[in-house]
Structures are given as C-alpha cells and as structure tokens.
Structure 1
Amino acid sequence: MADWDLRKLQILRTLRERGTVTATAEALHMTPSAVSQQLTNLSRQLGVELLQAHGRRVRLTDAARLVLRHAEAVFEQLERADAELSAYVRGEAGEVRVGAFATAVPALVVPAVTALRAGSPGIEVRVREAEAQEAYELLAAGEVDLALSLAAQAPSAVDPRFTRVPLLADPLDVALPGGHPLARAEGLRLADLAAEPWIFGGSGPWSDITRGACEAAGFRPHQGHAAAGWPAILAMVEAGMGVALVPRMAAVPRDGVIMRELHADRPVRHVVAAVRRGAEQAAAVATVLEALRTAADERGA
C-alpha cells in the first residue's frame, strides 16, 4: 500500500488552491524549497508523478488530481472526528472563530453573540472582520471556523471543502437626498432612477451588485462618484451628489437622506454562512450557526 502522508497531502491541496509554490509556502509558513522537497517526497512515496513543469511554474498531473479527489474524503472525515472529539471532551463549551464582512458584524454577529452569552455562556466567539472573499480564504486556511459572506462571492455550492448555510435575503433600498423629487413618490422603482448619477465603489462586490441590480432593471448606471464606505456614500447622497443602493443591514439614519423601499424590481443580496465540510457537527459550531440563523430570522421578520 502507498504511504499516505497527511501533512504532505495538505501541502499538495494548498498548491492546487494557491496555484504556485511560492504562494503555497506563504500560506503554510514554509519556504518554497521545503514545499518542493515535501512534494517530491510524496511523489516518491506514492510512486506517481504529481507535478509537471509549465514554464516557470508547475501544474498538477492527472494522478495528483486523482489523489486529491480521494484525499478530500479523508480530510472531511478528520474534520468530523475533530468535531465529535471536541463535543465529547468539551460538550457545549469551546471557542468558535467567526470571520464576517463589515455590515454583518453589527447586524447578525453581535446579536448572535449577545444571545449566546445568555443561553450558552461556555461558548466563546472570537470575531474577525474580513471582506467577503477573504473570509473564505481564512476558512480554507483554518484561521476561522465559520465565515459569513455574500452568496455572490462564495465558492460554488458543490465545492468539496465547505458546507454553506443560507442565512438572509437582505433587501437593497435606495438612498435619496431629502429634497429629491422622487423621495416620497409612490411605488418607486429602480428604473425610475435610470437618469440619476449613482454612487458606488469603483470595483469589488458592491460595485458588481449595484451594476447587476440596475442592469436587471433595464439600465446601466452612470457612476457619478466612487466610494466604498457607507458613511462616505450616505454623506454624498445627503449633499445631493447622487443616489445609491444601500443594503438594509448597512443603513444608518441621516437627517438629509430618505431611504426608500423599492417595489416591482426590488433587488436583494443573499448572506450565507460556511464551515469546512464536516465541521458543522461540532457542538459549539452548530450552536453558533443556530444563533446566527435566529438573528437572521429576527432581522428578516
């Protein structure tokens, strides 16, 4: 039987995810030469070539992909073993590290933590704010146990590394200056604002969401100003510099801004939680997930 070395398999798995030996070494806090040596040893142990030279880089062979396909089942089972052992040893006690994007922290994570302090005081939640895509990188690297992100930025639902849990469909409202002619119009639709200057980031998830929502409503938004932070965006709206789509979770009242719910073409963004596949059976992780579901249900009610 071949010598299956879990540590070396993890290195091969990380190389597949990161793409280069240098990036793999950085992710695993190793040197590139150590990564190369470990993979050479694994190739010798398994009796197959795992890497092929491709210009100045390397790429995985078909044999390496076969090895990793079976290794994923091993990693999942080990996550389950860790989860069951944790539940046996600590019961409902333990630490759960949560990575979450900025607006999810006050809207979902803080209410969940508050509820857990009352109902499950033995569980300690450590929160780390991270952009949507970064949250999954942290989860894959084992630096957080649970990631809150947007479905649009999440890996595929069939990604063998993660289990995804839908949490909330967060409506997108439109922010208008208080004196805008449509600020109090009945039955406001996104298409009614097609000629307005829009305020959103120059790139990234929110730019994609704004453009996608407007295009679904039949027009391409003219970007009057670019900003990424909600205080800056709402300040410009208040000054009459344009209009903006704002997720309801992120809305902060301002005297000079009217938040309007859209009707026929109301867009939403979908918020999801994710854990490494198999880890959802850990008692502490399952309890935190349930608290997040409850916070999302209460917010959506």
Structure 2
Amino acid sequence: MGEWDLRRLRVLRAVDECGTVTGAAERLRLSPSAVSQQVSALARQLGAPMLEPYGRRVRLTPAARLVLRHAELVFGQLERAEAELAGYLHGEAGEVRVGAFATAIAGLLVPAIARLRESAPRLAVRVVEAEAAGAYGLLAAGEVDLALSLAVQPGGGDPRFVQSVLLSDPLDVALPPGHPLAGAPGLRLADLAAEPWIYGAAGPWREITLAACADAGFVPERAHTAADWTAILAMVGAGLGVALVPRLASARRGGGAVVRALPADLPTRRVVAAVRTGTQGTPPLRRVLDALAEVAATVQPD
C-alpha cells in the first residue's frame, strides 16, 4: 500500500465537507482537476473507490469514511504537535530537569518555578536535589538539563559546560549566644582564628570555608563535621564551635546561634547555573535560566 499521503487525505476531507469537487477546489485553492487527481490517486493507492455520485454532488464511499475516520485522529495529533512545538519554540512548553543543592532550591529554584507557573504553565520543571559537588556529575550524565552549583566546582574550565553566575552570596559567621565577640563592633574573620570550627569534610563548602579563612590569614581548626545547616546552627547554638553561613540560607537559621555579617572581609560564595555546551539556546532551558536570573536579582544580598 505504501506510505500514507497526508495531502491526499486532506483533499478527501475537503471533498467530504464541501460535498463537491469544485467546492473543495475553492477551499484548497486548487483546480477541480487537481482535486480529482488527488482523490483518484488515493483510490488507486488504497485499492478502493473514494467517491460515489449523490445527486448533483458526491459523497464518500464506506471505504473512504473508514479511512477518513482514522485520518481525523492523525490530523488531531498533528495539530496538537504543532501547538506543542510552537510553545516549545517560545519557551512556553516542554520539560527542564534541574539539579540543585538545598539552599539554592529554597532560595532560587522554588521562587523561579512559581514565576514560571504563571508565565509558562505548560513548561514543567523537575527538581532533583543534589549536593553542589554532585550537580555537575548529574549534568554530565544527562540526568538533569541544568545544574545549580557553586563556582568552586571544576565546571568553569570544562568545555562540556557553560556557566553563568546567578549571584554572589555573602558569608556570615555564626557564633554561640553569649560568645565574647557576638556583639563586638567591627568583627573580622581573623578574630575567630583560635575558635573551633564546624564545616564539611569534603565538597565545595569545605573549600569555600578554607579559602575564606586563608584570605583572613589562618587555617581553621575543624572541631566538628557537618553539612546540613540545621545541624550546623544547632551545634553553634549549643556552643560547640563557630561556622560560616551563606546568607541565602538565612531563612533556615535557628538553634539559638548569633549570625553576624563580616563587612570588612566580605567573604562570598558564587552560585552558578550550568548547562551542557550547545544546549544553552534551547527555548525551555533559556526560559528557566531567565527566571532564575530574575529571582537572583531580587534576592541579591546587599
């Protein structure tokens, strides 16, 4: 039977709706002979007549109606595909999988998704929580389309990825309540060189803490190891040590810790969005990146 010709099927539908070859020709902007040729070719291809006389008009044969019933399903599916493609090309439809660490999910990704639900409700964003150190691995493996991580990761020099900085997140210091320096004016990071510190055993946050303290002229003595902010602040609040805390995580402060800014030192971490090279122009991905940038601009700390 060969491949189905959608053009011939559309001509057949027009003849059915108009009731005459001439009417179908006018609708399709074809000559009557061209319409007749298309219908005859379809009949030869399918091995069954498509039209029969009906007074001064024509009508579809039972075989043609069977064919057209199935063709209508195809036409409907194609129309839905065209609409979905149009939405995709405008960044209004599709799916984007985002791997992000916890504070980026709470502070950046969730507000961005809320915006996209209003502006692009057919665009689905799937969230995968991942440590900042593991986000690039998910991206490289194709398990996510976009990774929110920290600039200390090696992705900045990796040609497989394209990075953009979303914000510079200041680092504050968390002190136990009643600490002699908790209310001291002009607090400097170097003032805490002799304190017991709390930070992770590995990963970007460890590197950020070590780098900030190195800039202040000392190596922090790690008394306790933790990566979760609730746990870290609880330990600080209990007097077990001090810790650097990103301001983006300020909403999760607790445990009685006193959090102080360090305006003289200005330690920061850079939160970045990374995508695989070559995908950065994909409309849905571009739409999510733009929403993240908009949210970052509103939460950019002073």
Fold match by TM threshold 0.5: yes
2:286 corresponds in structure 1 to: 286
Matched with 1:193 is: 192
Q: Structure 1: how far apart are the matches of 2:201 and 2:143?
A: 29
- In 2, Cα distance between the equivalents of 1:89 and 1:234? 45
Structure 2: unaligned runs, 5 residues or longer: 1-83
| Structure 1 residues 136-215: aligned runs within 5 Å | 136-157=136-157, 159-215=158-214
| Pairwise CA distance, 1:87 | 5.8
Query: Aligned-pair distance for 1:122?
Result: 1.4
Structure 2 residue matching 1:202: 3-state secondary structure: coil
Distance 1:202 1:147 in 2: 22
Residue 78 (structure 1) aligns with? none
Distance (whole Å) between structure 2 residues aligned to residue 202 and residue 155 of structure 1: 21
CA distance in 1, matches of 2:113, 2:219: 40
Offset of 1:133 from its aligned partner? 2.9
Q: CA deviation at 1:203?
A: 2.4
Partner amino acid, structure 2, of 1:132: A
Q: 1:281 Cα shift?
A: 1.2
Q: Answer with 1 or 2: which has the greater Rg.
A: 2
Please list the CA deviations of residues 198-237 of structure 1 after superposition, one character each: whole Å capped at 9, or x if unmatched. 1112222222211111111011111122222111111111
Q: Does 1:121 align with 2:121?
A: yes
Amino acid at match of 1:231: T
* 1:239 and 2:238 matched: yes
Partner AA of 1:94 in structure 2: G
Scaled by the length of structure 2, the TM-score of the pair is 0.68
1:95-110 equivalences in 2 (<5 Å):
95-110=95-110
Equivalences for residues 16-55 of structure 1 within 5 A: none
Identity %: 60
CA RMSD of aligned residues (A): 1.6
Instruction: Confirm or deny: 8 A CA contact 2:171 2:268 kept in the other structure.
Output: yes
Runs of 4+ in 1 over 4 A off after TM superposition: 86-89
- Cα distance in 1 for residues equivalent to 2:220 and 2:133: 25
Compare relative contact order (CA 8 Å, sep 6+) and give the higher one, 1 or 2: 1
Aligned residues: 215
Equivalent-residue separation in structure 2 for 1:234 and 1:100 (angstroms) = 21
Q: Tell me the equivalent position of 2:88.
A: 90
Partner Cα separation in structure 2 for residue 241 and residue 142 of structure 1: 41
Q: Which amino acid aligns with 1:250?
A: A
Who is 1:4 aligned against?
A: none
Instruction: Specify the SS of the correspondent of 1:117.
Output: helix
Q: TM-score, normalised by structure 1?
A: 0.68
